[in-house]
Chains A and B, each alone.
Chain A
C-alpha cells in the first residue's frame, strides 16, 4: 500500500498566482481531510469529505480557498489568488469507514513570495 500520496511535495509561487495541491487517498478509504500547519496556528482542519461529499468546510480560511473531490481516489485544494500568509505545510489524510485511524500524507510545503 502506497499510503496517502500528495503532490507536489514543495511549491514556491508568487503572490497572486493560483496554487493547486493534490491528494490521492488510500484505496478504499471513504473519508478525506485537508489540514494546514503553521508555526503560529499549529495543525488546523480545513475541510473534510465523506464519500466524496464535503461535510464540513468551516475551517477554510476564506473564499480564496476551495476544495473538490471529483471521485474517491482524488482531491484538490486550490488557492486563488495566493498570498504570503498562505505559506504553510498542507496535509491530506484519509480514513476508512468504521475505522478510527487517520492516515496522513507527507504534506506539501507551500511558500508564497
Chain B
C-alpha cells in the first residue's frame, strides 16, 4: 500500500480555519484518499474521502492536488470538539473490501 506523510501535530485557535496537509507521493491511479479522525477515548470516525476532485461535506473539505501527490483537509471553523488525531489514508481501489492502513496521524490541538 502507498504511504502517507503527515505532520505529527498542529495547533489552531477556535473559530479559525485549519488546513491539515498530507503527502502521498507514491499514490497510484486507483487509490482513494480517505480522512478519519479519532476523538479522545473513541473509535475512529470517517471525515471525508475523494479520488481526483475536491470534495465538500458538512464536516470538512478535501482539496486534492492536481498531480494527486498531496491533499489538504480543511476544517472551515475549528471548534474545541475538533481536537482529535486526524488520519490521512490511501485505500486501493479495484477491490470491494475497503482495507485501510492507518499511520500515526496528526494531533490537532484547538485553543479557546
Contacts and interface: CB of A to CB of B under 8 A. Distances in A.
Interface in B88-112: 91, 96-105
B102 A42 contact: yes
Contacts of B101: 45
Contacts, number: 57
A91 interface: yes
B44 A48 contact: no
B86 to A, nearest CB: 13
Chain B binding surface, main DSSP class: loop
Given A48-B97, A107-B42, 8 more contacts: A31-B96, A33-B98, A43-B102, A50-B96, A50-B97, A56-B99, A103-B46, A104-B45
A88 to B, nearest CB: 13
A94 B89 CA distance: 17
Contacts of A25: none
A56 B11 CA distance: 37
A74 B107 CA distance: 33
A43 to B, nearest CB: 4
Contacts of A50: 96-97
B8 to A, nearest CB: 12
